[in-house]
């Protein structure tokens, strides 16, 4: 990928997409093509085809997806399955039709079987049953990964698939019904401190383990893969993570401390725990030459600081 080439980032406003944009800009890529939802509906196959015919990107990052936390996934499986299949089918097919050199499709660590050995190696894909709370999303992502592999085999394309672990960072979704755990806890602890509340409710038992990757680390990893690697080196999927995980209880304690909340934690066992653990084996991407940089401590500080700034900006507006 040369700096003069045209790069389309689908989903450029999301947590992953905005980090890809920052990583590309910091490396001097100036020929970046983006479209917001009002300008291009990725669910509309004809509109996506027409956009590719007009814009002719050389490289595509497919970071657009319908995403959400455990409850949103559990309660709206049809939307997660249908929308993700449509977005990825439309973009991947149009990219092939227009002769895109290279495409990078973003999956998720939830594509792996619920009870597979830990840390999770790429080859455990499809070796067992999926976690029920995010099965629909995972099935869509597995279909995207297989579609890329099928194009590579049948048409000789170079479509890569990266499987990131749970992401977090500035600009995340803080809506408590649809967000992931980390932004949800930042908001809950912050509001509890502001309102002098004595307790914060954490969903589930606190026992599940999760691995968290800072969004800028993901952006760096994806640009690295696009620049340096071919699909035949990465295999059908390549894990992107830190290789370290933490329990939800410990995460809650750390966020509580960072925010300065002095009350109690209460666990709501009515809410699902989800998969007990999904720690990625990241030896394949390490061997290719990429390693994460931002520690959880540093990433949490940056994320909380961005959250506080966004509240100030919203007050000023
Ligand atoms: P998952 O990794 O797909 O399970 O997605 P989440 O990030 O939504 O949830 C991770 C874990 O955090 C699950 O065990 C949740 O039950 C737990 N959790 C604890 N409190 C919260 C919360 O306020 N919001 C969310 N989304 N998850 C929470």
Indicate the pLDDT class of residue 52, thresholds 50, 70 and 90.
Answer: very high
Q: Each residue of 155-206: pLDDT tens digit?
A: 999 999 999 999 999 999 999 999 999 999 999 999 999 999 999 999 999 9
Q: Give percent of the chain with pLDDT exceeding 90.
A: 97
Find the residues whose C-beta lies inside 6 A of ligand 1: 69-70, 110, 134, 166, 179-181, 184-185, 202-204, 208, 210, 248, 271-274
Residue 316, pLDDT above cutoff 90: no
Query: Span 32-48, mean pLDDT?
Result: 97
Q: Each residue of 249-268: pLDDT tens digit?
A: 999 999 999 999 999 999 99
Residue 108, pLDDT above cutoff 90: yes
Query: Span 295-309, mean pLDDT?
Result: 98
Residue 54, pLDDT above cutoff 90: yes
Tell me whether strands 246-247 and 209-210 are parallel, antiparallel or unpaired: antiparallel
Indicate the pLDDT class of residue 4, thresholds 50, 70 and 90.
Answer: confident
pTM: 0.97
Q: Each residue of 56-98: pLDDT tens digit?
A: 999 999 999 999 999 999 999 999 999 999 999 999 999 999 9
Instruction: List CB contacts of 186: < 8 A, sequence separation 6 or more.
Output: 174, 255, 259, 303, 304, 307
Strand partners, 239: 163
- Site to probe by mutation for ligand 1, drawn from 66, 70, 278 as the one with most ligand atoms within 8 Å of Cβ, is 70
Residue 317, pLDDT above cutoff 90: no
Q: How far apart are CA 95 and CA 91, in angstroms?
A: 6
Residue 3, pLDDT above cutoff 90: no
Q: Each residue of 216-244: pLDDT tens digit?
A: 999 999 999 999 999 999 999 999 999 99
**Atom 27 of ligand 1: nearest residue by CA position:** 181
Omega of the bond prior to 119 within 30 degrees of 0, cis?
Answer: yes
* Cα dist from 65 to 10, 144, 224, 230, 275, whole Å: 9, 11, 21, 23, 21
Residue 101: what pLDDT? 87
Indicate the pLDDT class of residue 1, thresholds 50, 70 and 90.
Answer: confident
Place of tokens 């999904």: 278
- Site to probe by mutation for ligand 1, drawn from 181, 187, 253 as the one with most ligand atoms within 8 Å of Cβ, is 181
How far does the centroid of ligand 1 lie from the alpha carbon of residue 188, in Å? 13
Place of tokens 């994320």: 303
């Amino acid at each position: 990928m040369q700096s003069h080439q045209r790069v389309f980032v689908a989903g450029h406003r999301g947590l992953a997409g905005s980090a890809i944009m920052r990583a590309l800009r910091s490396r001097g890529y100036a020929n970046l093509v983006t479209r917001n939802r009002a300008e291009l509906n990725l669910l509309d196959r004809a509109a996506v085809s027409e956009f590719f015919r007009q814009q002719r990107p050389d490289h595509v990052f497919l970071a657009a997806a319908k995403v959400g936390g455990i409850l949103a996934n559990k309660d709206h499986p049809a939307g997660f399955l249908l929308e993700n299949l449509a977005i990825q089918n439309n973009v991947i097919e149009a990219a092939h039709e227009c002769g895109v050199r290279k495409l990078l499709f973003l999956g998720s660590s939830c594509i792996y079987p619920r009870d597979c050995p830990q840390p999770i190696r790429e080859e455990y894909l499809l070796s067992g049953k999926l976690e029920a709370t995010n099965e629909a999303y995972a099935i869509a992502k597995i279909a995207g990964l297989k579609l890329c592999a099928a194009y590579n085999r049948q048409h000789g394309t170079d479509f890569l698939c990266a499987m990131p672990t749970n992401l977090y960072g500035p600009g995340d979704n803080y809506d408590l019904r649809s967000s992931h755990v980390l932004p949800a806890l930042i908001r809950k602890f912050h509001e509890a401190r502001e309102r002098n509340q004595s307790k914060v409710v954490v969903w589930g038992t606190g026992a599940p383990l999760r691995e968290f990757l800072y969004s800028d680390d993901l952006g760096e990893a994806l640009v690295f893969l696009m620049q340096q690697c071919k699909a035949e080196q990465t295999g059908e999927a390549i894990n992107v993570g830190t290789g370290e995980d933490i329990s939800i209880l410990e995460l809650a304690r750390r966020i509580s401390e960072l925010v300065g909340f002095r009350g109690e934690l209460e666990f709501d066992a009515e809410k699902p725990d989800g998969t007990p653990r999904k720690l990625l084996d990241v030896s394949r991407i390490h061997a290719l030459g990429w390693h994460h940089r931002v520690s959880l401590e540093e990433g949490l500080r940056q994320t909380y600081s961005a959250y506080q700034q966004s509240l100030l900006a919203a007050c000023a507006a």
